[in-house]
Structure 1
Amino acid sequence: MERLNAFDIRELERLCPGGVKENVSLAAISRWQIGGTADVIVEPSSVAELCSLRAFIAQEGLPSVVIGDTSNLLFSDEGLRAVCIRLGSRMSSVHIENDIVHAQAGVWVPFLARKIMSAGLTGAEHTCGIPGTLGGLICMNGGSQRKGVGSSVVTVESVDTAGNICHRSVEQCEFSYRSSVYQNNSEVIASAKLSFLSGDKLKIRQEMLSILAERNRKFPRKLPNCGSVFKSNPAMYEKAGPPGAIIESLGFKGACCGGAQVSPHHANFIVNTGVARARDVLTLVSKISRCVLESVGHHIEPEFKFVSVHGEIMPVDEMLKGFFYE
């Protein structure tokens, strides 16, 4: 794709006033601090702006990609030659009425969990340490302690590629473990209505502090990373244990490729020691995947996604087809 022309940029600025930035370093906004330069990043401030933005992109036939807090993404070293729509603080309102929470997709999940706790509602504790936005959490049916946010969803509002608003009930969202309909339908989650139970605020707070303390103890916090690299496969878990233990048993803990390192703190994390490239991360993932398959007979599936220079969000397994590590 050629870079956007002046007309396209002016139109984006008209549709999303104050929300357009050009030549943005992806490494500067990435949780992994990896990636080249994005031509343009647009942050809508309302559902109406998001609808207009998607309609314009479809009308002009422009490639595009939607991101949140990037906590589950690896950007290409080549950068991004597509319109990047980012849902963040400009779309992060939260309204709580009785046991119902209305929240926009850009709200930061730990902040939302604290708001829900402050309202005396229980059920969001497992999300308190997840560094991402609500839209991404719902798309991935994310959570911790083998729980998923889908169990709290009532309805989800999204915007399709033509700029039309869609509403889905929890059943229509097709939630399963770390999966939802939004991973394959090209819609952008704009907001959600969630339901929680009343609880003891002190006990909820204590549970959240316990979860955060456990995460701080188990997971690397000081170096850039994207959380758990590989999903936990129940069959593999029963046979050989969790991903981190398997990877450690195969001697990968502390292993490096360029600036990427399998964390010495927890082997299911890959950290950026300062100058990591996307290729470094993919090399480590490829080596680990092949070794685990040969050793325990199970495929170990990456949790994160790869964002290509053209804005395609690809499963890492697909990206690694034909990929030869150094």
Structure 2
Amino acid sequence: MDSNNDSALKTHERLQDELLDQQSNMLKEHHGKQVVQPIHYKFGSYLIAVPGAGSLAAIRIDLPKESTRKKQVIFFAMHHAAHEFFFTDKHPYHKKTNFLYFGRKFLDYISDLDNIDEITVNLLKLFETHRVKVDKVKTQSSGLAFIKNCIQLALSKPEFYRNLSNIEQSYLAGLTKVKAAARDESTQKTLTAWFGEHGWLRREDVGIGHELYSRVASPRILIQSFRIMVASSLIGLQSAKNVLLDLLQDANITSSDLELFQPSEDFSSKAEYSSYNSKVLVNLLQKLKIFHDKHIEKKH
């Protein structure tokens, strides 16, 4: 019996080492700005390690192996979502930043829960309440919808749900049935009221000074300035449009020479769609370059 237990333990440790090596290799590829090759997903990692995105730093979150099974299956679902968002090209970029922010908040929340086995299907509702009351965010900014999406995504993939028992699948599915609280009502303020609440702007050291404050605090002057800015922007755009049209006409480029952009639904992946758009733009720029080179030759 002891030998069987030792063998099972060694197998488990070997699988964990393989998962760690796999994620380490993916991170190296990402940081090296190489194209991440599709890597087969493996169920059951106790580590989520993903690179940063935008202004958000990379995260590395470990789940203690002695955690309860409910906490494990939730963590495994979030790990699957992380793999989908960061190491495939199936999802838009904002999924990465959402995971780095909301995903981390949720994982930190469940890691601090000692009574997770006593909580039924209202776990995500408790997370939403925690975010609103403790983190002081609005209900629509709690991240509840994103966490539900992560779990639902995992449950839709055979490589994930086939590793769960029927009870575990039902448990995760039940978590996603919770409805988000009603959105907080937005409150409107007049421009005068807003400036009245930010009197520190009058200060010369940390604000904009009394003179400039008096100017922008006037609704009439501010709206007039806004109108001038909009009008100037539109005039600039129109001028740029006219220059481009003249250039296309001089280069004898007609609509038949331009390839129309196809909708994203016509492509199997985001990467393929992005590559297609790049090719269309490159073709146009190449035609303009040919015209430019000929124009320079005529001058000489």
TM bucket, shorter chain? under 0.3
> Structure 1 length as normaliser, TM-score?
0.22
Which structure would you say has the larger Rg?
A: 2
Say which structure is richer in helix.
Answer: 2
Say which structure is richer in strand.
Answer: 1
By relative contact order (CA 8 Å, sep 6+), the higher-ranking structure is 1
> Structure 2 length as normaliser, TM-score?
0.23
